[in-house]
């Protein structure tokens, strides 16, 4: 009778938890969502990365910033004035990109859309 081969045991290294993001969100005014990054370096408080209109936009911004930070490791250390300017430029560009590529945001009910206001003025 032939002996059966032993099965290889799965290693415990394969069950690693996913890396936790350095970014988190907080609710803002009027349903907005604030995206923040955990303190790093000599920073004591969290850095506000942007204020997005919806949670979908906030999640998109978080993934965009994670990609940007993977390229430039010391993006949030901001040791010099140039570093601060670079960080602000990256944050502004990421926010603009997310607003353009993300789902469209409806105007509040109380305020008419700018196109509708212009059309009503030209009709008079």
Query: Tell me: the pLDDT tens digits for 28-56?
Result: 998 899 999 988 877 788 889 899 998 99
**What domain range is 93 assigned to?**
22-103
Q: Do the Cβ atoms of 49 and 61 come closer than 8 Å?
A: yes
pLDDT at 35: 92
Would you say residue 110 lies in a domain?
no
Instruction: List the one residue out of 38, 42, 124 whose CA is nearest residue 79.
Output: 42
Would you say residue 26 lies in a domain?
yes
Query: Tell me: the pLDDT tens digits for 79-106?
Result: 777 888 888 888 898 889 888 888 887 7
Would you say residue 50 lies in a domain?
yes
Share of the chain above pLDDT 90, in %: 16
Would you say residue 44 lies in a domain?
yes
- pTM value is 0.66
Would you say residue 63 lies in a domain?
yes
Whether residue 58 is predicted with pLDDT greater than 70 in this model: the reply is: yes
Q: Report the 10 Å Cβ neighbour count for 48.
A: 13
Would you say residue 80 lies in a domain?
yes
Would you say residue 90 lies in a domain?
yes
Token reading at 44:
């004591």
Locus of tokens 């010099």: 80
Whether residue 124 is predicted with pLDDT greater than 50 in this model: the reply is: no
Average pLDDT estimate for 15-37: 85
Instruction: Indicate the number of domains in the chain.
Output: 1
């Amino acid at each position: 009778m032939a002996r059966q081969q032993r099965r290889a045991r799965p290693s415990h290294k394969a069950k690693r938890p996913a890396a936790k993001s350095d970014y988190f969100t907080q609710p803002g005014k009027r349903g907005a969502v604030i995206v923040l990054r955990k303190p790093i370096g000599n920073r004591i408080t969290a850095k506000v990365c942007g204020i997005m209109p919806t949670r979908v936009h906030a999640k998109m911004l978080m993934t965009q910033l994670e990609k940007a930070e993977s390229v430039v490791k010391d993006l949030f250390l901001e040791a010099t004035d140039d570093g601060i300017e670079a960080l602000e430029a990256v944050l502004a560009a990421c926010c603009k990109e997310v607003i353009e590529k993300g789902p469209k945001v409806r105007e509040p009910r109380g305020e008419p859309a700018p196109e509708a206001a212009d059309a009503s003025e030209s009709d008079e």
